[in-house]
Amino acid sequence: MRTLVLSGSNSGQAINESFALKLSIQNKYEYLNLSMLHIPPFIENASKEDVPYDITGIQKMIKAHDVVVVVNSVYLTSISAFFLNLAEWMSIYDDQVFKDKPLIVLSVSDKDNQFINYTSNNLDGYALDSVKTIVSGLGGKISYFQFISDYTNDKDYTQTFETIDQQVNLLLP
């Protein structure tokens, strides 16, 4: 069983990056630190020849794994510009990179406010809609979604990590 964890952010200090790293260590998943890669802004009318080397590497890693976990930041109306930029580049090289690939999406927030709770409880919330659109545009479908609110680095997330691992195991062939 091979599970790949990606963070939807390029900031090494983002809370979703911290959660993704902890999840991968706890559950012994492979972690790809996207903040270490060079991914330039997307070029309109780009061709396959324009696709950065790091994008082709990411797509090869995705295809080599059985399950992909995307740990996303929560924004009021969408997702990070970095994740959208990454998806735009991937669509040029292989617009079906997530085809037949079980995907788990985790949205992480350090807040516990009413809007974010509404969004997380309503699976058609703005941020999740953005992720669904991007994933489906790359041939995929979200198999499991979980919202983690009020995140802090010093909390124990063992139970959450176990729940995610159970979901991963359910998705394996």
pLDDT in single tens digits along all 173 residues of the chain: 699 999 888 877 788 889 999 999 999 999 998 888 889 999 989 999 999 999 999 999 999 999 999 998 776 656 788 888 999 999 999 999 999 899 999 888 776 544 444 444 444 456 677 788 888 999 998 999 888 877 888 889 999 999 999 999 999 87
Rounded CA separation 20/14 (Å)? 10
Domains contained in the chain, CATH given: 3-171 (3.40.50.360)
CB of 14 closer than 8 Å to CB of 153: no
CA R_g for the chain: 15
